[in-house]
A and B are shown apart, each in its own frame.
Chain A
């Protein structure tokens, strides 16, 4: 129940933000979900992706196993009821990112990781192949520290997106988009290495990313 209330609140905020899109300088709550557009680049902040709800018997923090589905085509956070549709393109749950295809959804999605900046990628390289998910064994966007989009450091318990890694996404409907994960923590700032583990646990799994269609 205590997980539903923030979700409800967040969806209100989402509607609120969407309505006010045209205002020149909207006052944005840095810790709330928001979507903003600048030119052809859309920036999403504080999208929760299976945030922490408790701990395992071994003391590892865990989420409720609840994905957040996002449509890169419409710029909308898609309700979980529509998970089995082609309405979403990218789903977030902790370090797992899924694309709408194969074991993950009915769409024609796919993805691969491009080594290079978001700006430098202007068109999909001709020699590239889009991969699909094979849940839970492998994913189009490989899970694991240093493999695709993030590194994780055990002693500091911090996850950092790797700079210069751009996700190239084929949407559920076959469009192309590029995505850069900016941050993994609520508010968009990674906690300091010395901050308490309770803060690192509470604020993790809040996705900040920017994307544009190609």
Chain B
């Protein structure tokens, strides 16, 4: 750390002297994710949330999770890292992009939001509703796109943050051994070298992590170190072309110590986890005429995750896990404006590769190739109507091809009102785990879970040598593993009665079919079960989301939102309607379950609300108060009926309040202070990754 501080001071002094003040704050509300083209937010026909750099900074957010948890309609989930639930869909159904290209390295479908630093991010665009017509697989619930800062302005920003918390005592002493401490160093610089514009962002986070796992009660601080580097290079090539290169590298080192309980036995384990991630994104944009743009994009990304765990009760057995994934992609996009129409056509090819100890052998590399084409036609019929029709075709080497159309319209009768409607398809192709997982749990009865490709091969071989007692009919369906599909509808209205008030309402409905779930496919002669993946479930999510923003005075702003959500498994719901699902009366006897006792899919809260209040008399002087609420959610089926109902084990709803404020110390120096989780809400069982109250101080230096 000493080395880093030295480097910090060194870079600080060299760049500070040469940098010139250029702090133009761009608040132009432009969104690119919704249509793959820069559009004014007011002209987009699908629900979009924009989070600008200023909000990220003032909220004191370090990781993507910190800022997403304060947004309307999003839930943070725990388990295999922290994920995000959008429109009631699981984290695996939200695509997370950096400058339009997907992040990889998901575990059980979850991309850990704590892995992603938000330093160097200009804005975050959240598009809700299926977006596979533009982005392909995983964009079922929506897309979260992190737009990196553009080089171009000479600038220097540095910040140093110290945070402290103690979940057991509520308030913590700085530098005390019992406290959970956090230190974040951040340095961002923009400069110009000849024709090259360059921007760099470095972030180093040391934190005492609370390495909880489900069913663990351990609270020992364990060090976590996260290092993120981001470089953006940009260069104009003549007057009609531009080259841009984004490089991002991330390294996490996490020490772990936790206990896991199963079958009444406790296993204490300790170990460490390391993640490495690289992103390289070259883009060439050519504008041969005023009406045509050609984007050539390359993308290379690599993720390596290593985990080593030792078990105290079983010192001779240790768990070693390695997962490597590489994604290569090349993409060509043509934007063509002609009269009232904007046309986009694109072609792409990608190769996705993985190898892992979770599969049959670490040496065996799994590969999947996808060729895709997409098109979108945006047509401004007149001043009031916009129609956007899009479609995409993904030809997958491993599974059936996916065709995903989408159509959206916007009607703006006057300056106050506008109405949106959209309907689209989303899909998620099966991932490597669902094809190649090779897992046998010898501790718990010797059951196995195999990805479909391995299941077919292994079970056939076992059957040949007489080791299979029973082949379920499901075995014959393993060859048919296909993508998960959804149809999503969004219907919204916006009302701006004045310059200072903005109200938005959006209703959504997602119908998901062929969801992949684990099912038993065979039984070995010793009675142990073999499971694999099948497209067997159907589900729906629907809800209403409202948001408002009110500029009270020039320095005061209030905003808030509320989401009502209802979800369900369609087969369960059909059985409940037929009176085929049961529950227990208070005397313990069984009875038919009522429709109103069904809560739908687990881990969903019916109500969610949030508010934000900002007081900002000047650029560096502010107070920012945020609160969010989510209602009770079901976590496990505890009454044995297999469906989630009001009697089941649930987590209590909660309110979290975050407060931050900033004031200028000197011309270029700002002090920011904040309290996260002011009410110190904690829930070890159901929110294991939720820290208790945390206080922090940040010094920001900005030229």
Show the binding face of A for B, using Cβ within 8 Å.
58-61, 115, 117-119, 146, 150-151, 153-158, 160-166, 180, 182-183, 188, 190, 193-194, 197, 200-201, 208, 210
Inter-chain contacts of B581 with A (CB < 8 A): 164
Give the interface SS of chain B, mostly helix, strand, loop or mixed.
loop
Q: Are the C-beta atoms of A156 and B636 separated by less than 8 Å? A: yes
Q: Are the C-beta atoms of B639 and A117 separated by less than 8 Å? A: no
Tell me if B498 counts as interface (CB < 8 A to partner A): no
Inter-chain contacts of A115 with B (CB < 8 A): 580
| Alpha-carbon gap, A166 to B642, bound state (A) | 16
| Alpha-carbon gap, A80 to B594, bound state (A) | 43
Q: Are the C-beta atoms of B590 and A117 separated by less than 8 Å? A: yes
Binds A, one of B261-269, B303-311, B455-463, B652-660: B261-269
| Alpha-carbon gap, A60 to B445, bound state (A) | 13
| B 488-506 contacts with A by CB, 8 A | none
Q: Are the C-beta atoms of B638 and A118 separated by less than 8 Å? A: no
Inter-chain contacts of A119 with B (CB < 8 A): 591
Q: Are the C-beta atoms of A60 and B263 separated by less than 8 Å? A: yes
| Smallest CB gap from B685: residue in A | A194
Tell me if B641 counts as interface (CB < 8 A to partner A): yes
- Chain B 569-581 interface mask (CB, 8 Å, partner A; 1/0): 0000000000011
Inter-chain contacts of A188 with B (CB < 8 A): 588
Q: Are the C-beta atoms of A201 and B264 separated by less than 8 Å? A: yes
Tell me if B536 counts as interface (CB < 8 A to partner A): no
Inter-chain contacts of A156 with B (CB < 8 A): 215, 636, 638
| B 5-55 contacts with A by CB, 8 A | none
- Chain B 635-668 interface mask (CB, 8 Å, partner A; 1/0): 0111111100000010000000000000000000
Given contacts A60-B263, A150-B640, A163-B641, contact A182 B649 (CB under 8 A): no
**One of B214, B261, B583 near A163 (C-beta < 8 A):** B583
- Nearest CB of chain B from residue A24's CB, rounded to whole Å: 18
Given contacts A193-B649, A201-B264, A208-B588, contact A117 B582 (CB under 8 A): yes
| Alpha-carbon gap, A58 to B261, bound state (A) | 14
- Nearest CB of chain A from residue B650's CB, rounded to whole Å: 11
Given contacts A117-B590, A117-B592, A200-B264, contact A164 B649 (CB under 8 A): no
Q: Are the C-beta atoms of B591 and A117 separated by less than 8 Å? A: yes
Query: For this complex, into which size category does the number of interface residues on chain B fall?
Result: 20 to 34
Inter-chain contacts of A118 with B (CB < 8 A): 589-590
**What's the A-B contact tally at a CB cutoff of 8 Å?**
79
| Alpha-carbon gap, A188 to B284, bound state (A) | 70
| Alpha-carbon gap, A150 to B584, bound state (A) | 14
Q: Are the C-beta atoms of B641 and A162 separated by less than 8 Å? A: yes
- Nearest CB of chain B from residue A204's CB, rounded to whole Å: 10
Q: Are the C-beta atoms of A163 and B265 separated by less than 8 Å? A: no
Inter-chain contacts of A153 with B (CB < 8 A): 636, 638
Show the binding face of B for A, using Cβ within 8 Å.
214-215, 261-266, 444, 580-584, 588-592, 636-642, 649, 685
| Smallest CB gap from A149: residue in B | B640
Inter-chain contacts of A208 with B (CB < 8 A): 588
- Nearest CB of chain B from residue A212's CB, rounded to whole Å: 12
- Nearest CB of chain A from residue B82's CB, rounded to whole Å: 19
Q: Are the C-beta atoms of B638 and A158 separated by less than 8 Å? A: yes
- Nearest CB of chain A from residue B642's CB, rounded to whole Å: 8
| Smallest CB gap from B584: residue in A | A163
| Alpha-carbon gap, A46 to B443, bound state (A) | 31
Inter-chain contacts of A158 with B (CB < 8 A): 638
Inter-chain contacts of A154 with B (CB < 8 A): 262-263, 444
Q: Are the C-beta atoms of B640 and A151 separated by less than 8 Å? A: yes
Q: Are the C-beta atoms of A193 and B589 separated by less than 8 Å? A: no
**9 interchain pairs (CB within 8 A)?**
A117-B582, A117-B590, A157-B263, A163-B591, A182-B588, A194-B685, A197-B261, A197-B266, A200-B264
| Alpha-carbon gap, A165 to B637, bound state (A) | 16
Q: Which among B214, B581, B641 has the highest number of chain A CB atoms within 10 Å?
A: B641
Q: Are the C-beta atoms of B265 and A59 separated by less than 8 Å? A: yes
Inter-chain contacts of A59 with B (CB < 8 A): 264-265
Q: Are the C-beta atoms of B215 and A155 separated by less than 8 Å? A: yes
| Alpha-carbon gap, A183 to B584, bound state (A) | 11
Inter-chain contacts of B685 with A (CB < 8 A): 193-194
Q: Are the C-beta atoms of A61 and B590 separated by less than 8 Å? A: no
Inter-chain contacts of B261 with A (CB < 8 A): 155, 157, 197
Inter-chain contacts of B215 with A (CB < 8 A): 155-156
Inter-chain contacts of A182 with B (CB < 8 A): 588-589
| Smallest CB gap from A45: residue in B | B588
Enumerate the 5 nearest inter-chain pairs by beta-carbon distance, A residue then B residue, closest first.
A164-B582, A160-B640, A163-B582, A163-B590, A157-B264
| Alpha-carbon gap, A141 to B356, bound state (A) | 41
Q: Are the C-beta atoms of B641 and A193 separated by less than 8 Å? A: no
Inter-chain contacts of B262 with A (CB < 8 A): 154-155, 157
| Alpha-carbon gap, A176 to B309, bound state (A) | 55
Inter-chain contacts of A146 with B (CB < 8 A): 642
**One of A151, A194, A210 near B589 (C-beta < 8 A):** A210
Inter-chain contacts of B588 with A (CB < 8 A): 182-183, 188, 208
- Nearest CB of chain B from residue A101's CB, rounded to whole Å: 23
Inter-chain contacts of B637 with A (CB < 8 A): 151
Given contacts A60-B263, A118-B590, A180-B590, contact A160 B583 (CB under 8 A): no
Given contacts A117-B592, A118-B589, contact A164 B638 (CB under 8 A): no
| Alpha-carbon gap, A86 to B108, bound state (A) | 53
| Smallest CB gap from B215: residue in A | A155
- Nearest CB of chain B from residue A156's CB, rounded to whole Å: 7
- Nearest CB of chain B from residue A37's CB, rounded to whole Å: 15
- Nearest CB of chain B from residue A209's CB, rounded to whole Å: 10
Q: Are the C-beta atoms of B263 and A164 separated by less than 8 Å? A: no
- Nearest CB of chain A from residue B291's CB, rounded to whole Å: 60
- Nearest CB of chain B from residue A88's CB, rounded to whole Å: 24
**One of B214, B580, B582 near A155 (C-beta < 8 A):** B214
| Smallest CB gap from A197: residue in B | B264
| Alpha-carbon gap, A18 to B454, bound state (A) | 60
| Smallest CB gap from B217: residue in A | A194
Q: Which among B214, B264, B641, B685 has the highest number of chain A CB atoms within 10 Å?
A: B264
- Nearest CB of chain B from residue A113's CB, rounded to whole Å: 13
| Alpha-carbon gap, A154 to B636, bound state (A) | 12
| Smallest CB gap from B587: residue in A | A182
- Nearest CB of chain A from residue B635's CB, rounded to whole Å: 9
- Nearest CB of chain B from residue A135's CB, rounded to whole Å: 14
| Alpha-carbon gap, A182 to B588, bound state (A) | 6
- Nearest CB of chain B from residue A202's CB, rounded to whole Å: 11
Inter-chain contacts of A190 with B (CB < 8 A): 638
| Alpha-carbon gap, A184 to B584, bound state (A) | 14
| Alpha-carbon gap, A137 to B582, bound state (A) | 30
- Nearest CB of chain B from residue A134's CB, rounded to whole Å: 13
**One of A160, A197, A210 near B638 (C-beta < 8 A):** A160
| Alpha-carbon gap, A201 to B264, bound state (A) | 8
Q: Which among A146, A164, A193 has the highest number of chain B CB atoms within 10 Å?
A: A164
19 extra interface residue pairs, beta carbon distance < 8 Å, beyond A157-B262, A164-B582: A58-B265, A59-B265, A60-B265, A117-B592, A119-B591, A151-B642, A153-B638, A156-B636, A163-B582, A163-B583, A163-B641, A164-B592, A164-B641, A166-B590, A183-B588, A190-B638, A193-B636, A197-B266, A210-B589
- Nearest CB of chain B from residue A166's CB, rounded to whole Å: 8
- Nearest CB of chain B from residue A175's CB, rounded to whole Å: 22
Inter-chain contacts of B263 with A (CB < 8 A): 60, 154, 157
| Alpha-carbon gap, A214 to B357, bound state (A) | 57
- Nearest CB of chain B from residue A15's CB, rounded to whole Å: 25
| Alpha-carbon gap, A19 to B45, bound state (A) | 78
| Alpha-carbon gap, A190 to B639, bound state (A) | 9
- Nearest CB of chain A from residue B641's CB, rounded to whole Å: 5
